[in-house]
Every structure is written in structure tokens, then in C-alpha cells.
Structure 1
Amino acid sequence: MTIKAFVIGHPIAHSRSPLIHGTWLAEHGIDGSYEAIDVSPEALPGFFERLRSGEFAGGNVTIPHKEAVFELCDTVDPLAEQIGAVNTLVARNGKVHGTNTDYLGFLGNLDAGSPGWSDSLDRALVLGAGGAARAVIVALQSRGIPILLLNRTRATADKLAAEFEGDITVATLDALADAAPHAGLVVNTTSVGMHGTRFEGFDATALRPDTLVTDIVYSPLVTPLLADARAQGLRTVDGLGMLLHQAVPGFEAWFGVRPNVTPDLRARIEATLEG
């Protein structure tokens, strides 16, 4: 019997997930399918009934549904609860379990792209306080790394930091130039970098020579932030690996095989990206 999985979002046509999972299905000779399904917010409860009926083994969730599906799941694991969002669904025995693999994708990407990056890291500078920042904070705290959280709106950052225990200092993005020399890792979790946008008034020369810069934006693959960091000779890790590594646990849960993120897979996805 064909095992079916999916990614839902609204819109969803841009998703690279079908190409990722389709590659793994073919590689392992699995009788399975993975499709992108456009589900509007008002249609989510009805889609969950399809999921509970056994039509699918599970699937992924992307914008704008990661917070909404959290409330629709029958059970949610503790990490997803801490992050406050779900990106992976597993359906079994008429129940839907939700988890969040974005933090694993973030760590897997940096571990592969810059081995040893978290060893003796003094502080991470996290830009943005939206849903993606939540997963990044969980990931960094799992490695015991102090965080400086910068966001355009201070109140939003304060609210997010208050939800987490541990060493998190908050400031606005206006403080980016002053904060840059005090962090060994810079993580952009905002949409800045798409369509050529950049952090106004920020000069990458303010970063330390040992700083690692990473961006969760993967289209374009090299954002202006990463380009500026590379021009200074700094280490960088682009956002594509996070997309690839976060997909691994879901595939294993639905199809029973743990796939590998290979250079060939990365090259296939890269070929579809802007820039």
C-alpha cells in the first residue's frame, strides 16, 4: 500500500519539500508519495479530519499554519510546546501528533557547515523575534549558548525572551552595530535578505574575525548579509541546509527509513533557487 505524506501551506506552490522527499523516496525504492497541498486557514480543521481518517501517514506544515495546527493536534511534544509551533505531523490510530524539527534543522545545518561551531561560543546574536526565532533560541539553549536577541520592536522581543529561561538579553535592531563585536555567532531569522533587502546602516566590518554568520533565508542562497560577511573573510552557513536537515525526522517517521542529506540532494535543490 502506498504511504502518503504532504506539505501544507497557503500558498504552497513554491515549496521545495516535494523535491526533497521525492528524491529520498526514489533513492530508497519506497512505495510512497509526498505532495504539496494548498490549505487555506479556514480549511485546516477539515484537513485534519482527513489526516485522522488514515489517508496520510503525516506531513509537514509551513507558513502560515505552524501556530494554528498546534491547537488542532491531539498531542504535541514538549519541544514543540516550548517553541509554540508545529512543522511536522504524524498520524497514527486516528490521532495526530505534532512536533517541531526546525531546531534540529538549524543545528544540523551548522554542525555540517561549520563543525565545532558551538565549542566555546561566548554569545549568539539572534536577529528577529518571530516564529523562526523561537526554534533558533531552543536550539542555541540546548547547547548552553547565551543569546542577545535583537528585534525591530522591543516589546515583541521582551515578550519572547520572557517565555524562555536562561541567559537572553534584549535590544532593538538599532543596536546591531554596537552588539556585533560581542558575539561569535550571528543568526538572521527575519525575512531581511529576500529580494535584495539588507539591514540598513549595518557594516559587516563591525563583526569579529572569528564570527560565524548564518541566515535562515535560502532564496537567494547568498543573502546580502552573507555576502557582506564573506567579503570580510568570515565563515558563513547559508539557510538551505536547515530546510534539508529539518526534513529528515519527518521522512523517517512516515516512511520508516532515515535518509541522508547528500551533496547531490543539495545540488538538486540549489538548481531551483533564485540567485
Structure 2
Amino acid sequence: MTRIAGVAGQPIGHSLSPLIHGAWIAAAGLNARYDAFEPADETGFAALAQRVRAGDLAGLNVTAPFKAAAFALADGVSDTARRCGSANLLIRRDGVLWADSTDGRGLSAALAEQAPGLDLAEAPVVVLGAGGAARAAVAALIEAGARVTVVNRTLDRAEALAADLGAAVGDSDSARRAGLIVNALSAAPTLDMTALRPDAVLMDMSYRPVMTPFLAAGRARGLITVDGLAMLIGQARPSFEAFFGVAPPAIDVRTLALEAAS
């Protein structure tokens, strides 16, 4: 019987997850499939989640705007998902719907791959934004030992996130002192690149385009940049293993994804 997993979001046509997981499935020779699902609303998403609970689907990756719903619908949640207050992974575990978040592992994997010289222990880090992506980033960075400051246009949202996870709240000047700046906003932030530390690392959690205007401006300044595609692949690896019970094969999915995104 074909084992089916997938990704759910609205919209979902931009997602590279089916390409990445499909390449791994083919390389591993699995009788499996990874589909894209686009439920119209939370009711439609809840029906998909029920298919995971029933064992009809091996699991789901979850993207905007359903990450909070995934967390709320689950019968059990990991400590990581609880800290994030959202989930990007639903699987059936011990007969119940289980929620986890692999975004933090994806962020850590991307930093290790593209900024290997960065030591997060006690490092001053600024996260731009206060939504679900920012929350996952802050949780992972604090767990890695970084001193995280949240900067967001809406102050009360930044304060709520910081209070929940043990971060600080800052303003646009906070970026000047940061060793790592993570953009978790959907739009490009307005930062004066010339005011940043010459050894600062810039990371963008978005991967459409892979070289975002934020990263392009940083690279023009000579800064190390870390892209959202590396994070996407990093979070996909533990998801694939959770769905199909095997580690993803060691193939170059990044090149495939770059070709598809160009």
C-alpha cells in the first residue's frame, strides 16, 4: 500500500516541499507519495488532520496559515511545539494525533551549513518579527544559548513573545550590536547595512526568492548570509523520517530546489 504524506497550506502552489520529499522518496525506492494540500479554511484543515489521526495519511507538514490550528487540534504536543505555540508537523503516534515543530531544527541546520563559524553561545541575536516563524526562531536560538532580542513594529506582540520565551525586546538600533539577525517578517526589513557589525550574519526565513532583497543587501556589504531554502531542507529531514521511517537519502536536493525556484 502506498504511504501518503504531504504539506498543507493556503496558498501552497509555491511550496518546494513536494519536490524535496519526492526526490528523497524516489532515491530511497519507497512505495510512497508526498502531496500538496490546499484546504480552503480551518474546517478543511481539520478534516486533513483527522485523516492523519485515523492513519489514512502518514503525516502532514503544515505551513501558513494553519500552524496554530495544527497545534490546537493535536491530542499531544512536543515540548518544542509547546514553546513555539504552533506546529509544522502532524503525525499519528501511539494512536493519537501528535504535533511537533521542526522549524527550529531547520534553522539550526541552516546556520551550521552556511555560517559554520558562528558560535551562538551567549551571542547577541536579533529576530525581526513576532509571528509564528519568529516564535520558532526565538525558541531554537535561546535553546542554543543565544541572547535573543525581538524587534517588531507592534510592540505588544514583541513583548508577549519575549515574555513567553525569555527573550528581550528591542528596537531598530538593536541590530547594530547583533552577531546574527534573523528576518522572520514576510517583507524585507529596512536596515542600514552599513551600521551593522562587519562580522554580522544575516538569515532570512523566506525562500521565495532564495536570495531575498535582505540577503542581497547584506551580501553586497560583504556579510555572511543564510537562506530560507537551507532552513526548509533542514526542517524537512526530520519530517521525512517521521513520515516514512527512514532517513532521507544523501542526494543533492538543494540543486533541484534552486532549479525549480529560478
Q: What TM-score, normalized by structure 2, do the two folds share? A: 0.94
Give 1:61's aligned residue.
Answer: 62
Looking at structure 2, the residues matched to 147 and 269 of structure 1 have their Cα atoms a distance apart, in angstroms, of 31
Q: Alpha-carbon deviation of 1:8?
A: 1.1
Give 1:2's aligned residue.
Answer: 2
Looking at structure 2, the residues matched to 122 and 93 of structure 1 have their Cα atoms a distance apart, in angstroms, of 39
Pair 1:183-2:172 in alignment: no
Kept in 2, the 8 Å contact 1:57–1:92? The answer is no
Looking at structure 2, the residues matched to 260 and 206 of structure 1 have their Cα atoms a distance apart, in angstroms, of 42
Kept in 2, the 8 Å contact 1:11–1:38? The answer is yes
Distance 1:108 1:247, change over 3 A: same
Give 2:168's aligned residue.
Answer: 169
Q: Structure 1 residues 22-31 or 222-231, which shifts more?
A: 222-231
SS in 2 for 1:147: strand
Which runs of 5 or more structure 1 residues have no equivalent in the other structure? none
Which runs of 5 or more structure 2 residues have no equivalent in the other structure? none
Listed as ranges, the matches of 1:68-147 within 5 Å are 68-92=69-93, 94-118=95-119, 122-147=123-148
Distance 1:99 1:261, change over 3 A: farther
Give 2:242's aligned residue.
Answer: 253
Pair 1:268-2:256 in alignment: yes
Listed as ranges, the matches of 1:11-26 within 5 Å are 11-26=11-26
SS in 1 for 2:27: helix
Give the partner amino acid of 1:257. Answer: V
Looking at structure 1, the residues matched to 197 and 233 of structure 2 have their Cα atoms a distance apart, in angstroms, of 29
Give the partner amino acid of 2:177. Answer: H
SS in 2 for 1:219: coil
2:208 corresponds, among 219, 231, 239, to 219
Looking at structure 2, the residues matched to 113 and 66 of structure 1 have their Cα atoms a distance apart, in angstroms, of 27
Looking at structure 2, the residues matched to 52 and 94 of structure 1 have their Cα atoms a distance apart, in angstroms, of 7
Q: Alpha-carbon deviation of 1:119?
A: 5.0
Distance 1:113 1:169, change over 3 A: same
Give the partner amino acid of 2:84. Answer: I
Looking at structure 2, the residues matched to 208 and 103 of structure 1 have their Cα atoms a distance apart, in angstroms, of 25
Distance 1:54 1:120, change over 3 A: closer
Q: Structure 1 residues 137-146 or 10-19, which shifts more?
A: 10-19
Q: What TM-score, normalized by structure 1, do the two folds share? A: 0.90
Give 1:150's aligned residue.
Answer: 151
Give 1:207's aligned residue.
Answer: 196
Give the partner amino acid of 1:208. Answer: R
Q: Deviations over 1:237-257 (max 9, x none)?
A: 111111111011111011111
Q: CA RMSD for the aligned pairs?
A: 1.6
Q: Alpha-carbon deviation of 1:51?
A: 2.1
Q: Alpha-carbon deviation of 1:116?
A: 3.3
Looking at structure 1, the residues matched to 37 and 105 of structure 2 have their Cα atoms a distance apart, in angstroms, of 24
Kept in 2, the 8 Å contact 1:67–1:86? The answer is yes
Q: Alpha-carbon deviation of 1:159?
A: 1.0
Give the partner amino acid of 2:109. Answer: G
